[in-house]
Amino acid sequence: MSTDAGLRSRGRRLPLRTAVLVAVVTVLLLLVPWVFGAFTVMTFTRALVFAVLAMSVNLLTGVAGMPTLGQAAYFGVGAYTGALVGIHWSELGVVQLALATLAGVVAAVLTGPLAIRGRGVAFLMITLAIGEIGYTAAGRLDSVTGGTDGMSGIPPVVVTPGGSGLVNEGLIYYYVLVVAAVSYAAVAVLLRSPFGLTLRGLRDNESRLRSVGYRTDSYALAAYVYAGGLAALAGSLWASSQRFVAPGDLGFEISALALLAVIVGGVGSMWGACLGALLVVFTRDYLGQQLSGHAPLLLGILFVLTVYLLPQGVAGGRAQWRRLFPKDHGGDPGTVTPT
């Protein structure tokens, strides 16, 4: 009798092992500014921002089954909103994050109904168009965005009222880390909630969902809006950490890289998406730097290797890892829930 998925029951994973893993990862992430130099810390910061964007892409692509190439547009809305709020109104991080998220939500509410008219490839193409419109708009709206010159002069972000701005790379890293961790927790809660189950149902079988009384378009839109807000939150982090925003930050390449991060990490898995973001950013900015100018080539190799060796992504279950390393002791198969 096959035992595959036999033990597969959500929420019944070994809690101790998970807790230990979370603790170890937390400690490692906290140690980063103490161990590495400024450049590496900044790369980690970018990777964390990118991880939040990848979670947003994964929420749509992996959880709700709506592959998207347009999330960079909402990322851009958040980045410009965060920057504008920082320049003109408040240097307080919480205010910037909240308003940027709100702007992303509004943008997604306005554009979402258009996007969710299609599913699958049609949805992908509409989101691609939305992404391109966002990119073009950012370059053209000189008076708001500074056009193709980008928007500079963003003041350092302030964490507490009356405090001083964060200019030190390590402190900026911690700021981004905390916000990213909170986002991760919010998404983790969402995935275990009834709404999370609804989104997985939407991915698995939309017509069946309709037949038990779901107005499925509403949930597709809700997922779109949630993901839009999350992408905008990431955008605000981007503005705070880079203190410069340009149209290139919301180009097609960013959407594509976010989707690549999700595929490398394992579609549907949130920690996979974060790990994928880390791999993609370090491949591009770190290894790419060493092999001057060959970052796109390296990313291509990363993608090919992943699809070939780990078709379900890094987080895609142990079966494929065991296939890679057959001498590994044969533990219980398929007990990792890719969520």
Per CB under 8 A, residues contacting other proteins are 2, 4-11, 189-190, 192-198, 200-201, 203-205, 207-216, 218-219, 222, 226
Task: For residues 191 and 157, give the distance between their C-alpha atoms in angstroms, rounded to a whole number.
Answer: 31
- Pick between residue 220 and residue 246 the one whose CB is nearest to other proteins: 220
61: Cα within 13 Å, side-chain hemisphere: 29
Q: How far is the CB of 204 from other proteins (least distance, A)?
A: 4
Q: How far is the CB of 100 from other proteins (least distance, A)?
A: 20
Structure tokens at 294: 């060959």
- Pick between residue 117 and residue 208 the one whose CB is nearest to other proteins: 208
Task: For residues 157 and 9, give the distance between their C-alpha atoms in angstroms, rounded to a whole number.
Answer: 43
Paired strand residues for 245 = 151
Beta strands in the chain (DSSP E): none
Write down the H helix ranges in 36-168: 38-58, 71-88, 93-115, 121-140, 142-145
- Pick between residue 8 and residue 140 the one whose CB is nearest to other proteins: 8
Q: How far is the CB of 230 from other proteins (least distance, A)?
A: 12
3-state secondary structure of 245: strand
CB 57 within 8 A of CB 227: yes
DSSP 195: H
Q: Under 8 Å CB-to-CB from 246, ≥6 apart: which residues? A: 138, 148, 149, 150, 151
Q: How far is the CB of 59 from other proteins (least distance, A)?
A: 11
- Pick between residue 159 and residue 221 the one whose CB is nearest to other proteins: 221
- Pick between residue 136 and residue 218 the one whose CB is nearest to other proteins: 218
- Pick between residue 151 and residue 230 the one whose CB is nearest to other proteins: 230
Residue 16: count of CB within 10 angstroms of its CB: 8
Q: How far is the CB of 63 from other proteins (least distance, A)?
A: 11
Task: For residues 302 and 280, give the distance between their C-alpha atoms in angstroms, rounded to a whole number.
Answer: 8
Q: How far is the CB of 319 from other proteins (least distance, A)?
A: 14
- Pick between residue 159 and residue 186 the one whose CB is nearest to other proteins: 186
- Pick between residue 138 and residue 315 the one whose CB is nearest to other proteins: 315
Task: For residues 66 and 118, give the distance between their C-alpha atoms in angstroms, rounded to a whole number.
Answer: 9
Q: How far is the CB of 156 from other proteins (least distance, A)?
A: 33
Structure tokens at 178: 């905390």
Give CA angle at 248 (242, 249), nearest 5°.
45
Q: How far is the CB of 200 from other proteins (least distance, A)?
A: 6
Integer angstrom CA distances of residue 335 from 13, 26, 266, 317, 331? 8, 24, 16, 8, 10
CB 66 within 8 A of CB 220: yes
